[in-house]
Amino acid sequence: MVKQINESEIIERLNLTPSVRGFFIAASEIIAEAVESLMQRIFLKDNFAVQSVVGPLLHDSGPLGDVQVRLKLLYGLGVVSDSVFHDIETIIKLKNQLNADGLEHEFTDTKVTNAITTINAIKQLPLPPFELQDVEGEIDLEFYQLQVQRRQQMIRSSLALVVIEICNNLNIESPF
């Protein structure tokens, strides 16, 4: 029996992150743990011969030690669907971009919203557009800041649901 994903633990881990970069680092780590768990269920059987051959391949220094390589293998074997594969790749790519540029970003930044609108699981959620509407004329600054904060929290919560959905899709028994 496959251990169920603890959704409240995922939400808690994601909510403890202090920044957008931290959120995507935590999301990538959570997804990597789910991929690792699936790899263990598929490839590490009780048979000693199988363990002795497959085990070293799956260690961090082995050829299947990288989460992206593992993901491609699972995708190639048909274990992971096209949409889940591309969603995970998008999250990891955005994490790497945020780490590389070294700037602090908000969830409402164009760089972030452009990337997350390509996530298939986001498209399935009944959400209003992530972009803030330009307001003509005078606006109440406090009201505008409140709208920005609300929008950021909405994006953060939506992404948390996406991570949970991805983990649920990876939480399957071995098809082999």
pLDDT of residue 171: 92
CA distance 26 to 92: 10
Beta carbons within 10 angstroms of residue 26's beta carbon = 19
Q: Are 27 and 159 in contact (CB under 8 A)?
A: yes
On whether the CB atoms of residues 16 and 100 are closer than 8 A, the answer is no
| The predicted structure's pLDDT at residue 73 | 87
Q: Domains of the chain, with CATH numbers?
A: 7-170 (1.20.120.330)
How far is the C-alpha of 45 from the C-alpha of 55, rounded, in Å? 10
**What is the Cα 5 distance to its own chain's centre?**
14
Averaged over successive runs of 10 residues, the pLDDT of the chain (176 residues) comes to: 73 95 97 90 66 57 72 91 97 96 90 93 78 64 86 93 95 79
Q: How far is CA 23 from CA 10, 15, 44, 160, 173, in A?
A: 11, 8, 31, 9, 28
- Residue type at 110 in one-letter notation: T
Helices in 4-81 by DSSP H: which ranges?
Answer: 7-15, 20-43, 48-58, 67-76
Cα–Cα distance for residue pair 81/96, rounded to 1 Å? 23
Q: What is the pLDDT of residue 66?
A: 78
